[in-house]
Amino acid sequence: MKRIALLTSGGDAPGMNACIRAVVRTGIHLDMEVSGILNGYNGMIHGDFVPLKSDSVSNIIQRGGTILRTARSMEFFDREGREKAFKNLQKNKIDGLVVIGGNGTFTGARIFIEEFGTPMVGIPGTIDNDLFGTDYTIGYDTAVNTVMEAVDKIRDTADSHSRLFFVEVMGRDAGFIALRSGIAAGAEDILVPETHTSIDELIQILEHGFRKNKKSGIIIVAEGDDAGGALEVAAKVKEKYQFYDTRVTILGHIQRGGSPTANDRILAGTLGYAAVNALAEGETGVMIGVINKNITYTPFEKAIKHHKNIRSDLLKMARILSS
């Protein structure tokens, strides 16, 4: 394997640049030529390949986002688009691909391998931490810290005005950001898509806090919670329980940005290094992950289809510690 290429696809995540750096420098160490593909699978279809040298990735380890940029490619859904992508790989004499992204990225990679046989390995880069086959994904730790810091600031004003804040965090299908950030910030309750939300039970928790002389509160709501987002949940609570002056904060895309934490930088470097070595050893169709501090290879199909479970014991712990 003499020439490899890499791309970032789907939603950006802090630590992607650190991973790009690791892939490029590991490839060069193994005497490979490394190319970057701009704008994800769209760039592969339209031939946006750029050579990457060691100095191309200098001073990016601390930067959020991705220097290769990212996009969701509708053209890649069609075989015609994938065939154009394959011809561009041939034109650039690419022997193998490293793709950094999430569920959609690996779904596309799995189909591409089946149709054209190009060796590909994946690296989990998503703030949602919802991929099976790894304890943590690149960007998750930074996102949790971003939420925690924001909630710490919100709690100051909540205490000052005796207010109840509903803080919405990302997590359309998974509540991992909500769970960890809620524990770290001492939230009164955490609402996630994986569990049923009872408004009556939530009100009981708030009343319990009131009886213990709590003057304010924070409720973390994952955007995909079954009772609705923060706006809808807040309205339902206010309709039945009007003791608190209620406010809603939707944190949105600030969770995707910012300089990656030390944990995300180390994870990104570890996975990038392992991915290039996996390609060199003949691996394909696998996502590189870390489980119990050990490097693992999980087939794309398994990483995509298997559900990663949230820890219900942590939800129980969070309620006990905040009561």
Tokens of 17: 């640049």
Tokens of 204: 């009981």
pLDDT at 99 over 70: yes
Identity of the residue numbered 269: G
What per-residue confidence (pLDDT) applies to 162? 84
pLDDT at 103 over 80: yes
Q: Is 128 a catalytic residue?
A: yes
According to DSSP, residue 61 is labeled T
| β-pair type (120-124, 96-101) | parallel
What per-residue confidence (pLDDT) applies to 221? 97
Torsion region of 258: left, alpha or beta (phi above 0 gives left; psi -120 to 50 gives alpha): left
pLDDT at 28 over 90: yes
pLDDT at 311 over 90: no
| Comparison of pLDDT for 264 and 173, the residue scoring more | 264
Task: Give residue 215's pLDDT band: very low, low, confident or very high (50, 70, 90).
Answer: confident
What per-residue confidence (pLDDT) applies to 94? 97
Mean model confidence pLDDT for the chain: 93
| Comparison of pLDDT for 33 and 205, the residue scoring more | 33
Closest CA to 178 of 270, 234, 124, 255: 255
| Mean pLDDT confidence for 242-257 | 90
Block residue for tokens 């898509």: 193
What per-residue confidence (pLDDT) applies to 211? 67
Per residue in 163-198, pLDDT tens? 899 999 999 889 999 999 999 999 999 999 999 999
**Domains by residue range for the chain, with CATH:** 3-139+260-305 (3.40.50.450), 141-256 (3.40.50.460)
The DSSP element (H or E) to which 247 belongs, if any, is: strand 245-250
Q: Which of 12, 31, 128, 135 is catalytic?
A: 128
| Mean pLDDT confidence for 98-115 | 95
Closest CA to 270 of 75, 13, 68, 15: 15
What per-residue confidence (pLDDT) applies to 289? 97
| β-pair type (49-52, 96-101) | unpaired
Main-chain dihedrals φ then ψ at residue 310, nearest 5 degrees: -80, 150
- E strands within 60-174? 96-101, 120-124, 163-169
Sheet containing strand 245-250, strands side by side: 189-191, 217-222, 163-169, 245-250
Are the C-beta atoms of residues 139 and 11 closer than 8 Å to each other? no
Closest CA to 132 of 313, 297, 14: 297
| β-pair type (120-124, 217-222) | unpaired
Rounded to 5°, angle at Cα 200 from 194 and 204: 105
The Cα–Cα gap between 254 and 143 comes to 8
Percentage of residues in the chain with pLDDT exceeding 90?
81
DSSP code per residue over 278-299: HHHTT--SEEEEEETTEEEEEE
Per residue in 118-146, pLDDT tens? 999 999 999 999 999 999 999 999 999 99
Are the C-beta atoms of residues 80 and 51 closer than 8 Å to each other? no
What per-residue confidence (pLDDT) applies to 206? 85
What per-residue confidence (pLDDT) applies to 240? 83
pLDDT at 155 over 70: yes
* Radius of gyration of the chain from its Cα atoms, rounded to whole angstroms: 22
- CB-based contacts of 196: which residues, under 8 Å, 6+ apart? 226
Rounded to 5°, angle at Cα 236 from 231 and 238: 90
3-state secondary structure at position 179: helix
What's the pTM?
0.93
| Mean pLDDT confidence for 2-8 | 97
